[in-house]
Structure 1
Amino acid sequence: MSEEGWGEVLLSTSTPRVGSGWTDTGESFDTRGLKKRARKATRPVPIPPVLVRLVREHIKEFGTAEDSRLYPAAQGGGLLSKEYGEVWKAARLAVLTESEAASPLADVPYSLRHLGVSLWLESGVSPAEVARRAGHSIAVLFRFYAKAIHRNQQRANEQIERALEADDGE
C-alpha cells in the first residue's frame, strides 16, 4: 500500500474453520485456495484511501500475526467463529444506537461485504468492475444485487441524456 491514495489487498488463500476431523493436518482450520480459482491463484482487491489509513493505524498499534493476519486470536492462531461473533456483537452495541442495534442492521459481519458491493454499484461503478472486485461472476452480482442496480436507473437515464445532448451539439 502506498502512503497516500488507493491501496490493494492481495488475497491468496482462505482458511475456513472446518473442524479437526475434516482436515489432513488435524488442525481446526484448513488453508485452501480461493473459491472457484486455481489453487495458487490470487485476487487483488483495491481499497480506498480511508481504509488504507485505518489498516496502517491498526498495524501501527497492534502489529500483525506471524502469518500476517491482522486479527489473530488472543492465544495465537485463527479466530474461532464464536469469538468473532462475540466481538462483532460487542462492536455493534458500541457504535449503533439502541434501536439500530435491535434491528438487523449489520447483524452479521458479512453485511459489510453486502454494503460495500451495494455502495460500489450505487456509486456508479460498472457492474463488471464491481463483480471483479467482489470476486463474483456477473450472473451472481445481478442475482443478488439487482435491487441496487435497479436503484441506479435514474442516474443511468441522466447519463444517457447527457451523452445524447452532447452528440446533438456536434
Structure 2
Amino acid sequence: MSTVNFQKPEPVLANAEFRNGELRYFRKNPRNIIHSLFVLLCLGIWAQQTYSAVRATLATPLGKLSSGMLFGLVFLALFGGLVISTLIWSLFGTQSLTASLAKLTYTKHVGPFKWSRHFRPDTVQNLRWLDSVTVKGAEGPERTESSLRFDHGSKTITAFAGITEPESVALIEALNKAMGKKREI
C-alpha cells in the first residue's frame, strides 16, 4: 500500500497579523532587476555629471559664476535625491495596511522612516483588486501591475503592486471584516 504525503498549503495571507480586533497586513515591494539596473545606470550618469559640474564650478573664479551653473548644480542635487530615493524604495521598501473598527491606515516603510495615511472606515469605498492590464498609450503599450485599490472621496488609493488575485480576495474579506463592513457587491 502506498502512502501519499500531503504538504500543508501555505496560508493565502501569510503576512497578516490579527491582534486585538485589528488586522495588519504587510508586503515587501516586488523586486524588479531591470528597474534596479536602470536606476543604477541613471545614478552612474548623475554621479559623473555632478563630478564634472562641481569641478567646473570650483575652477571658476567666484565673481564669474553664472546663474546657469548654480541652477545646474541645484538641478543635479534634486535629480540625485530622486534617483537615490527611488533605488532605496525599490530595494528596501515595504507597505502595510492596518484595519480596525476605528480606522484604516496605509503606511509605506523604508528602514526607520514611514509615511502613513489614515482613513475612517466609513469613508473607504469600493475595495477591489485590479488585474494587470496593458493599455495602448500615445508612446506605445503601457503595462499596469495588478494592485489593491479603494476609493476615498474622489481619490483612488493604490497599494500592493503585484498582489495576486487569491491573496487580494482573502485580504479584501479580512479588511472588510476588521472594519466592520459587509461585503460590497
| TM-score, normalization by structure 1 | 0.25
* Structure richer in helix, relative to its length: 1
Question: Could you say which structure has the greater relative contact order, defined with CA pairs below 8 angstroms and 6 or more residues apart?
Answer: 2
Q: Which protein has the larger Cα radius of gyration, Structure 1 or Structure 2?
A: 2
TM-score of the superposed pair, with normalisation by structure 2: 0.23
